[in-house]
Structure formats: structure tokens, C-alpha cells
Structure 1
């Protein structure tokens, strides 16, 4: 996308601002002692998207999916940057998709614990996946990647975040995390992939197996290499809010 067009979109977002309504059960907001982080992370979604659009050969975005939308930390920013786009909000928590679809304007699609069961509409120009691959093992990463990539239209862009090497270093240097997540660290060191299931995952909405993952650049890039029509257009270590790695692919 042309830089002048992106600049105009950014100026429009700044002028419009974002819808401020917060869901009472928004776990990313509720009880957060650093409320500025909510907005910083939300706007960082746009910074990632704009940086990818600047190098991808995609001049128009009409159809967007926010996969793993939660209660709208990123969705409210996506809606502001793309005021006229059709947005589909997808999450495993019904209250999340209902809230986002109502407050930010769009369609609601309920996700599933099993990625192969998710019904994702096709023809997407842009799919944003913030902090979903970060919580599943590599087998489910592959299934989910395939499902999302299949939903892209030609020239569509898939942007997803991962817990990469920087997160590995932080975890390794924290005595408590290093002890409780030792197997995940060991597996990452040996294979480039590690997974630690939350002890209380069954208590989360819709999830019986949900945890933390680590993925090396090589293993993330390999997700796209399994598709002949996938082109990697960007990879940034700690690119989302200076925490998660970001990978981006287009469909040829």
C-alpha cells in the first residue's frame, strides 16, 4: 500500500479516536495497574498492521477478521483505522464476539477449542491474530495456520503474533518461571518449539488445553513454507508492543 494512503488512514484514525466502551469482564483491562498499557498494546496492533501494509502488495482492505478478539483491546483500534471495512470478530468466549460485534460493528463468529472445527468465512483481505498461537502447541499452530490461511482471498494478508526468543530469555532468567516451565524451555532449546499447559486451563471459557508456547523464528517461518502460495512479507522480533514476535504472510 502506498505510504501517502497509509498516512491519510493514520491521520483519520487519530482524528476519530477509538470507541472507549470497556466490557466489565475485559480481563486485559480489569485489575490492570498499568491502564496505559491497554491503549499502548491496542495501538501497537495498528502499528504492526500499517508496517506490513507498507511492504505488502495490497492496496485495498475491505474484509477483515480479528481472530482471538477478546473484549476488543485491538478491535476498537482496527475499527478506527478501517471505518468502512467489514470486520468479523472471532473468539471462543461468546461474550467477547457479541460485545465486539455490537460495539464496533461487524459479524460474530464463535471459535472452538479444536481449530479444525472453526467455521471461518473466506475472502479475507486481512486477518489479525493477536496472542492465540502464543497459547497452543505446535500441532494446533499448524492446523490453525492452515485454517486461517485458507480463509484469505488472493493477495490477502495474515498477521500473527508468537512468543519467541526474547520471551525465552525472559522466562529462562526468571527463577520461578524457569522452574515451573522447565520442560517448555528444554523443548524449545532442542527443537525450537516448547509448550507449557496451564494447570487450571479447564477453568477457562471453552478450553481444556490452553497454555504458553515458545516458537523459534525457524519454526514460525516453517508454518508458511508448507503452502506453495504463501509469501512471507515480514518477521519482527518483539514487534508487537515490544513483547510478541510478529509474522506476516500473503497469499499469492
Structure 2
């Protein structure tokens, strides 16, 4: 699969410099030629001649093309602002599934809801920033008992929302209470065919728990399930998760330090860009009986820095991720079901 073009600094500088020359040409129509230094940004005599002969009308069109991205952003912002107002006015279904293991005993109701709200924040940010119209078909995968599904349903009332999960108790709740379509998932992602394409797929807390073969298979499933203009928002354990694992005490990190060290996960992450540590079998049996393997994965982007400032390409996947910064003052919600289980068993 061809890799997306990477705009290096010199290319960007050349583009920006040329664009501002065009802008100046538009803003000073009385000039016989635009303000331009031939070799300032890799210019040539041919290019200078082209600039001299282009009509002011053409320059205006070029400037309009340049601003289209900004115009699209603000136009999309207005559309989603209207949807947000309707979301606030209509509210969200707050009924919870009593057998939802995402809502373990002692979990504050607000903490459960905040995770769904925060997921919606990331989703809307991605849609607006990429200039996408509100999706008409949405997949929440895996859905659980609708922790995020309920917010997607409320925010996009005209969309077809589909919940997919391995476990019947989740799907029954989503169908009967949240009134969304449901599809039974499979552990072998290569065997799944949703029989439709989606404009939006939210995949939270799935790849974060898979070994590399299933991690890759899940990405293949998401790719073939998107519509031509679709977008998938996928959560992974990146460098911040590495930091949490290495610097937080047991009970606040993802795995007991002993389990993390036993797999030499830190070395694997640095070398391969990927590491996976299996949960204790008692956790998998108690919480995920339909799954043969379940644990914690750590993954890095394909390109990462080596010591000495060199660039190294990890081979684990072609996944390119956009980083969406956490707003200042916002709590980071991690709801690891296995961790709560381990604490209750200690």
C-alpha cells in the first residue's frame, strides 16, 4: 500500500512562500507585477515570467483555493455546533445495563458518562478538522452496552447507528434500550463482514488489548468497512501509555510491573514499535470468556526517533495517527475492567 506523502519542512516553506507572493499580488492590483524576489523561495526565471503574465483574476482564484480549507473548517464548525445544541436539548439515554462490566461496582455514574462524552469530543474534533459532513452510517465497535453508542445516537439522530460486540448481553441492551441496530462480532476479524460501509467507525479499547496478528486483522477490517469518504477513530496505547506504565505505581498503571518486565516489553517497544503482554488467565476467564487471548498492547507510529536523532521505521503497521491534545484541566479517564477486577481480588 503506498504511503501518504510527507510534507517536509523545505516543501512546506516553498508552498507557504509562494502562496504569500500570490496574496500580495492580489492585495496590490495596481502593481505591474507582484512583489516577488526571483530566487527567494527556489524561484526561476520561468516562474517569474509566469507570475508577471498571470491575470489578477487568476490570482484571486488561487487565493480563494488557498482559503477553501479554512472556509470548510468554519462551515463544518457551524454544522456541528447546531448538532451539539440539539444534543444538549434532547439529552442522552442514561439507562445502564446492570450486567455491564464497564460499570463495575463503585464506579461513579459521572465517570462512566464522562468517558462517552470524551470519546464524542475526539470524534467531533476529527470530523470537523477533516472537513467531513455529519456521518449517515456509524459503527461503534466494540460497543459494550453503549457507553459511547448512546452519545453517538443522541448527537447524530438522523444517522443509522450500529453497535457490534462479541457478547449478547451488550447487544441485547443496545437493541432493546438504545434502539440501535446490532451485529454480532467474531474473535477472528478476517471472518467479519458487516454487509455495509460506514461513514464513521469508532473503535475504542480494542486494539489496546490485542496481540500483533489480531491488531493487524482489526485494522484490515476497519479499512474495508469504511465508505469512500469514511473515517475511523481508533484508540491505541502510545507513548503516553508507555510513560504511565513505567512511572506510575502498580494499581495505577496498565499492568503489574512484574508482568511488564517479564515480557521485556520496554525493549520490544523500542525495537519493534509494538509489545503485547497477556493478562492473567483468571482475568480473561472472568471477564472475557469468549476470547482466547486478551491483554495490553503498546504501539508506536511507524516512524520514531532512535537515540542520536536518527529516524527509524517500525514495521508493525501502516497506522498513521493524528494526535488530539487533551484539553487543559481535563481528567484522563482510564477504565480498565481488568484492573478493577484485580483490585477486587487482592
Q: Which band: TM-score by shorter chain?
A: 0.7 to 0.9
Distance 1:50 1:89, change over 3 A: same
Q: CA deviation at 1:136?
A: 0.1
Preserved contact between residue 200 and residue 226 of structure 2 (Cα < 8 Å)? yes
Render the CA deviation track for 1:44-89: whole Å, top value 9, x for unaligned.
1110111001112321311110001001111111111011211111
Please point out which of 59, 76, 79 is paired with 2:150. Answer: 76
- Distance change (3 Å), C-alpha of 1:106 and 1:159: same
1:179 and 1:52, CA in 2 relative to 1: closer, same or farther beyond 3 A? same
Q: Distance in 1 between matches of 2:303 and 2:196?
A: 26
Gaps of 5+ in 1: 227-231, 245-252
Counterpart of 2:294 in structure 1 is: 210
The partner residue of 2:272 within 191, 198, 211 is: 191
User: Does structure 2 conserve the Cα–Cα contact (< 8 Å) formed by 1:145 and 1:223?
Assistant: no
Distance 1:10 1:163, change over 3 A: same
CA spacing shift, 1:36–1:219, aligned 2, 3 Å? farther
Asked if residue 94 in structure 1 is aligned to residue 168 in structure 2, the reply is yes
Per the alignment, in what secondary structure is the counterpart of residue 127 of structure 1? Answer: strand
1:233 and 1:144, CA in 2 relative to 1: closer, same or farther beyond 3 A? closer
| 8 A Cα contact 1:64 1:125, kept in partner | yes
> Quick one: which of 239, 242, 249 aligns to 2:332?
242
Shift of 1:175: 5.2
Closer/same/farther in 2, CA of residues 225 and 180 from structure 1, 3 Å limit: closer
Is the contact made by 1:88 and 1:109 (CA closer than 8 Å) also made in structure 2?
A: yes
Distance 1:113 1:32 in 2: 30
1:128 and 2:202 aligned: yes
SS in structure 1 at match of 2:243:
helix
**Which is richer in strand?**
1
2:223 is aligned with 1:139: no
> Separation in 2 of the partners of 1:37 and 1:139?
32
Tell me: CA distance 1:93–1:126, structure 2 relative to 1, closer, same or farther (3 Å).
same
Residues 9-65 of structure 1 show CA distances to partners (whole Å, capped at 9, x for unaligned) of 111111111101100111121313433211111101110111001112321311110
For 1:97 and 1:33, the matched residues in 2 are separated by 22
Which structure would you say has the larger RCO, counting Cα contacts within 8 Å and 6 or more residues apart?
1
Answer yes or no: is the 8 Å Cα contact 2:136–2:158 preserved in 1. Answer: yes
- Aligned counterparts of 1:10 and 1:218: Cα–Cα separation in 2: 35
Q: CA RMSD in A?
A: 2.5
Which residue of the other structure, out of 246, 253, 260, is the alignment partner of 1:172?
A: 246
Unpaired runs of at least 5, structure 2? 1-72, 251-255, 305-313, 335-346
Please say if residues 41 and 241 of structure 1, whose CA atoms lie closer than 8 Å, have aligned partners that are also in contact. Answer: no
Distance 1:114 1:202, change over 3 A: farther
Superposed counterparts of 1:26-41, under 5 Å: 26-41=100-115
